[in-house]
Amino acid sequence: MSKILHYYILSDSVGDTALKVARSALAQFPEARTKLHRHNFVNDTDALNDILQEAAALDGLVFITIADNQLAKYVERFCIETGLICYNLIQPFVLEIQRRLEVEPSEIAGAQHELSDAYFKRIEAIEFCIQYDDGRDPSGMDEAEIIIIGISRTGKTPLSMYLGTLGYKVLNIPLIPENEPPVELFKTDKKKIIGLTNDPYTINRLRETRMIEYGMDSGTRYASIKRVEEELNFADELYRQLDCPVINVVDRSIEESATIILDIMNMPVRYN
């Protein structure tokens, strides 16, 4: 693939929203040769015209976030006259909201940035939770805001992911008697650690169901009450060593458990 696709990010603000949308689309073409032309804080027609002329000469794609209606109309006229392909990611929605609410928009450049910034911070937190799920990489403990530990079937992963949607970077670690917990757990800030526990018979039922889903014998040692109690005792001893808060998740929803964690750590919900 020899052709280079030139794509332009054009904004009367920082342009992060347009850049992320463009890169999300281009990610579908990993072998494509592309060149980014980024122009932020464009607020006059002369500068706008120069950029659009260059984009047209290179047959570029232009991704736009422009709040100013006059500048947006200028771009629209230019595209109609030249055939340049432009995607205004803000203006069509602003106009539709204006029509429905029958109020004038503020046309403040960057007014959308606070929302988009919050959105992408939530995405970053969720990606962190995925990367550091199930003890995959203990090196993330320093960056993690919350560290959840517990034996299998105590709900570590769904709870971590839910907290991630609230904007928190969460790392979780499975506890297994045969495996020593990572040394990083004893070196990190203990105030970030939350232990999970559950009723042994509830865990027993959850594990039996999991074995059946995997097409395995539900009577395996992993699912037995004896094994579950052994693991819970191991976890309880570790919780005492770490002196960390422990939440019994039995009969609690994920949302309720998350609220308890945030209350314990005195952390407000960041993004509703």
Q: Which residues carry a binding-site annotation? A: 150-157
Among residues 48, 50, 63, which one has the least CA distance to residue 5?
A: 63
User: What are the binding residues for ADP?
Assistant: 150-157
Enter the DSSP assignment of 61: E
Task: Identify which of 108, 109, 143 has the alpha carbon closest to the alpha carbon of residue 129.
Answer: 143
Q: Say if residues 217 and 211 touch (Cβ distance below 8 Å).
A: yes
- Burial (CB count within 10 angstroms: exposed 0-12, middle 13-18, buried 19+), residue 107: middle
Cβ proximity of 230 and 177 under 8 Å:
yes
Instruction: Look at residue 34 and give its three-state secondary structure.
Output: strand
C-beta separation of 269 from 262 below 8 A = yes
Sign of CA dihedral 125, 130, 131, 136: positive
The letter for the amino acid at 106 is: S
- Which residues 6+ apart lie within 8 Å of 214 measured at CB? none
Residue 268's CB: how many other CB atoms inside 10 A? Answer: 7
